[in-house]
Amino acid sequence: MSDARKSYDELKERMAEVAELETIRWILDWDEQTELQPAGAEWRARQAARIDGLTHQRATDGKIGELLDTLEDKLDAFGGEESDEAANVREWRRDYDRKVKIPQRLVEEITTTGVQARTAWIEARKEKNFSLFAPWLEKQFELAIETADHLGYKEDPYDALIDLYEPGMTRAEASRVLSGLRTDIVPLIEAVAGADRHPNPNILHGSFSPAAQQEITIGAITRIGYDLNRGGIGETAHPFCITLGPHDVRFGTRYRETHATDALLSSLHEAGHGIYEQGLSVEHFGTPLGTAVSLGVHESQSRMWENRVGRSRAFWESFLPEFTNRFPSLKGTSLDDFLFAVNEMKPSLIRTEADELTYNLHILIRFEMETALINRKLKIADVPAAWNEKMKQYLGVDVPDDSQGCMQDIHWSVGLIGYFATYALGNIYSAQFVEAFEREIAPFEKLIRAGEYLTIRDWFRDKIHRHGRRYSPTELVERVTGSAPSSDSLIRYLTGKVETFYGVSS
């Protein structure tokens, strides 16, 4: 065996240990979100911190740096830059450098601050009192700026942060991609507001047996190609998807008795994440080539199954009869009325409840505020006013209190800064991917109508999932669609949708 191969295998073995520890950590998380009682939370936090500490120690072991140094000079032994080994070495280097650049003290401070800030956030929300949260928000942004300084960046400290979630993305590039959203979506929102026809969303509210919802949901996610033999579904307050092993991808969902489609659509969303994870290379599990490339690309998959499949006419042609069979209150509801309700577009206060059209502006507001805060162009004390002003400008909405405004999301409290943009990037990529698919294969609606969900799944598996982190998100978008990331496809899709449902255009 060559020296290069020996070094590579040693590195791979060390990284496998890291992957084992990381997935153990996710088992603790899965259990915490699906089964743990509040009384058990304190000990669980100790267990989680213990595993985090061990993982960090192993992942930053100096021997890893040495092996990377050795290997970077010997990539020819594997066939050069295009080889699997070269791709893994490149990405392992990325991860390693990032981890060793941030001092352990800072890692611990972010964790501790996260716990305290989250508690303050919960309290501040309950009290609708931003001043209780402000010092913690300030602390988290200061820690994020410090993190960015340690990580290093060329132009903007925000570059170092967004890169944690969307590798290779920068503030400038994200601004370029997201900037069209406001210009193009605001007029669409105005057009919708002035339309003559509007849906009756009450159709979706009432009493819908959770047991029946569960059966329908499991049927749907199985049909689209989520493999229950390599996964599982749990019940949880906040839906999420998590990978516990190469053949163990689970998601948590919830069955709200009062809402007809909430469980199904959010399960399609989580199953979309799960299908991505299940489509990663098993052979490469625990290495970058067996790991999803970015949050944006991840979100492109979940949104696609939720919105492009789960809100399509073709989908409901087959599912509405199942719904009306199981849920008496839906008897007599027409496909047109039901579909319009499922696709209602209407400005609202809360991001997580926003529709496909307005959602992107919720993200744009957060992105703009984050970048301003990181660059110290906005003061923490001015966050509520700035938030409310943007909500008015972009969505025409008045924010009654900060709990429904700038304090609605958990992200900043736990130090997730640079993260929000990936949600809108997901929508943008998703629209680009679907256009590419339709150019290459057939209209989505046609395949959905024929029940050929696996054709969709397998195309995405081939084009995206199986590559792991071989390409950067931007490279991947270019390879799959032939174009750089751009909001054009999303705007085209939304414009068409507004026209179809509301009969108006901007």
> Smaller CB distance to its own copies: residue 36 or 122?
36
> Smaller CB distance to its own copies: residue 4 or 218?
218
Residue 336 β-bridge partners: none
Q: Tokens 């395949």 correspond to what residue? A: 447
Provide, rounded to whole angstroms, the least separation between the CB of residue 65 and its own copies: 22
Provide, rounded to whole angstroms, the least separation between the CB of residue 245 and its own copies: 3
Distance between CA 30 and CA 239 in Å, rounded? 11
Instruction: Report the candidate in 304, 215, 299 with the shortest Cα–Cα distance to residue 268.
Output: 304
Total number of residues that touch its own copies (CB under 8 A): 36
> Smaller CB distance to its own copies: residue 21 or 297?
21
> Smaller CB distance to its own copies: residue 289 or 395?
289
* 237 forms part of the interface with its own copies (CB under 8 A): no
Q: What is the DSSP string of 180-242?
A: HHHHHHHHHHHHHHT-S----GGGGBS---HHHHHHHHHHHHHHTT--GGGEEEEE-SS-EEE
The interface mask with its own copies, positions 17-56, x = CB under 8 A, is x--xx-xx--xx-xx---xxxxxx-xxx-xx--xx--x--
**Taking each helix axis from N to C terminus, what angle separates 488-502 and 171-193, rounded to the nearest 10 degrees?**
10
The interface mask with its own copies, positions 249-288, x = CB under 8 A, is -x----------------------------------x---
Count of CB atoms within 10 A of residue 205's CB?
A: 12
Choice from 63, 247, 256, 392 touching its own copies (CB under 8 A): 247
Choice from 138, 234, 254, 463 touching its own copies (CB under 8 A): 234
- 4 neighbors 71 (Cβ within 8 angstroms): yes
Q: Which stretch binds its own copies (CB under 8 A): 163-171, 242-250, 340-348, 464-472?
A: 242-250
> Smaller CB distance to its own copies: residue 235 or 458?
235
> Smaller CB distance to its own copies: residue 125 or 284?
284
Provide, rounded to whole angstroms, the least separation between the CB of residue 50 and its own copies: 5
The sign of the torsion formed by the CA atoms of 355, 359, 362, 366 equals positive
**Which residues, 51 to 90, sit near its own copies by CB under 8 A?**
51, 54
- 100 neighbors 65 (Cβ within 8 angstroms): yes
> Smaller CB distance to its own copies: residue 55 or 358?
55
- 504 neighbors 192 (Cβ within 8 angstroms): yes
Provide, rounded to whole angstroms, the least separation between the CB of residue 14 and its own copies: 12
Residues whose CB falls within 8 Å of the CB of residue 323, separated by 6 or more in sequence, listed in order: 216, 260, 330, 338
The interface mask with its own copies, positions 179-218, x = CB under 8 A, is ----------------------------------------
Provide, rounded to whole angstroms, the least separation between the CB of residue 55 and its own copies: 11
Choice from 228, 381, 385, 450 touching its own copies (CB under 8 A): 228
The sign of the torsion formed by the CA atoms of 263, 266, 271, 277 equals negative
- 445 neighbors 173 (Cβ within 8 angstroms): no
Provide, rounded to whole angstroms, the least separation between the CB of residue 43 and its own copies: 3
Q: Tokens 């990037």 correspond to what residue? A: 425
Provide, rounded to whole angstroms, the least separation between the CB of residue 346 and its own copies: 39
Radius of gyration of the chain (CA): 23
Provide, rounded to whole angstroms, the least separation between the CB of residue 3 and its own copies: 27
> Smaller CB distance to its own copies: residue 46 or 331?
46
Choice from 156, 248, 478, 488 touching its own copies (CB under 8 A): 248
Helix (H) or strand (E) holding 245: strand 240-245
Catalytic residue among 270, 344, 356, 435: 270
Choice from 114, 225, 246, 384 touching its own copies (CB under 8 A): 246
Helix (H) or strand (E) holding 243: strand 240-245
* 232 forms part of the interface with its own copies (CB under 8 A): yes
Q: 297's torsion region: left (phi>0), alpha (psi -120 to 50) or beta?
A: alpha
> Smaller CB distance to its own copies: residue 37 or 202?
37
Q: What angle do CA 145, 146, 149 make, to 5 degrees?
A: 90
Provide, rounded to whole angstroms, the least separation between the CB of residue 330 and its own copies: 25
Whether 270 sits among the annotated catalytic residues: the reply is yes
Strand ranges for 393-503 from DSSP E: none
Distance between CA 93 and CA 83 in Å, rounded? 15
Instruction: Report the candidate in 364, 343, 350 with the shortest Cα–Cα distance to residue 185.
Output: 364
Q: 112's torsion region: left (phi>0), alpha (psi -120 to 50) or beta?
A: alpha
Q: Which stretch binds its own copies (CB under 8 A): 97-105, 134-142, 229-237, 344-352?
A: 229-237
* DSSP category for residue 260: S
Please report, as ranges, the residues that interact with its own copies according to CB under 8 A: 17, 20-21, 23-24, 27-28, 30-31, 35-40, 42-44, 46-47, 50-51, 54, 228-232, 234, 244-248, 250, 285
- Give the residue numbers marked as catalytic: 270
